[in-house]
């Protein structure tokens, strides 16, 4: 599980890679769940939370960049 502080230390490309990895993992877990092979159904919840953490960090950076751009224009 990725902590928010650890995600803040990563670069944008690393965050995007992490997001892609988590989405692939969630896909695999959903496939296992559908076929009845998934033993630990709480794993899906944890992966969804990791995806949300990464998306939150990316959005926070996007907002910060937009505010910086806006303040430099004004």
Determine the pLDDT at residue 74. Answer: 63
- How many structural domains is the chain composed of? 1
Structure confidence by residue, pLDDT tens digits, 12-48: 999 999 999 999 999 999 999 999 999 998 999 999 9
Q: Report residue 1's pLDDT band, with 50, 70 and 90 as the boundaries.
A: low
Whole-angstrom distance, CA of residue 8 vs CA of residue 33:
32
CATH number at residue 44: 1.10.287.310
The answer to whether 57 and 4 are in contact (CB under 8 A) is yes
Determine the pLDDT at residue 55. Answer: 96
CB atoms within 10 A of CB 63: 10
Q: Which domain holds residue 62?
A: 4-73
Helix, strand, or coil here: 2?
coil
Its pTM surpasses 0.75 = yes
Structure confidence by residue, pLDDT tens digits, 44-63: 999 999 999 999 999 999 99
Whole-angstrom distance, CA of residue 57 vs CA of residue 15:
8
């Amino acid at each position: 599980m990725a902590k928010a502080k650890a995600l803040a230390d990563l670069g944008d490309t690393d965050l995007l890679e992490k997001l892609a990895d988590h989405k692939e993992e969630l896909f695999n877990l959903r496939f296992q769940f559908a076929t009845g092979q998934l033993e630990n159904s709480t794993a899906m919840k944890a992966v969804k939370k990791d995806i949300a953490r990464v998306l939150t960090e990316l959005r926070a950076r996007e907002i910060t960049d937009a505010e910086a751009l806006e303040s430099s224009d004004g």
